[in-house]
Amino acid sequence: MKLLTRNRLRFSRPGESSPMCGRRDGYNNFFVGWFCLSLESDEVAEIGFRLRRDAWGKGYASEAALALVNWGFETADVAKVIACTMATNSGSRRVMEKIGMKYVRTIPFEAAHFPGTEQGEVWYELTRSEWGRT
């Protein structure tokens, strides 16, 4: 699938997520979800993703997230990519692991409380030196 082409990739502006369109499995140019890679500092970028429900389970999140991570290291020259999700979000955690990110910590969830937030928010990261070893 070509969710992304290199020349379309760029850092997200503050508060922005880029809409993403798929090009296979019936998603030919249809909206699949949002992805973002935001600069947190000169050397650290945070990745995020959210897909429409009928696009789940087709590998789209892993493929697009990996493309963004690769772009971050290869082209944008960041030193580290980080990501976070609710501890209970097994699908999102699996995507992070599939693209080579490592769990680093759990912290209290500070936004609105709803079922699962009591288990906190998990942080993952991938450093430049770890990237490519997976």
Which residues are near ligand COA by CB under 6 A? 33, 49-51, 56-62, 85, 89-92, 94-95
**Which residue's CB is nearer to ligand COA, number 12 or number 92?**
92
- Provide the minimum distance between the beta carbon of 126 and ligand COA in the complex, in angstroms, as a whole number: 15
Separation between Cα atoms, residue 102 and residue 124, nearest integer Å: 5
**Which residue's CB is nearer to ligand COA, number 24 or number 50?**
50
Give Cα separations from 122 to 34, 70, 104, 118, 125 (angstroms).
20, 22, 8, 12, 10
Q: Locate all alpha helices (DSSP H) within 14-85, ordered by sequence.
A: 60-74
**Which residue's CB is nearer to ligand COA, number 35 or number 73?**
35
- Provide the minimum distance between the beta carbon of 76 and ligand COA in the complex, in angstroms, as a whole number: 21
Separation between Cα atoms, residue 1 and residue 3, nearest integer Å: 6
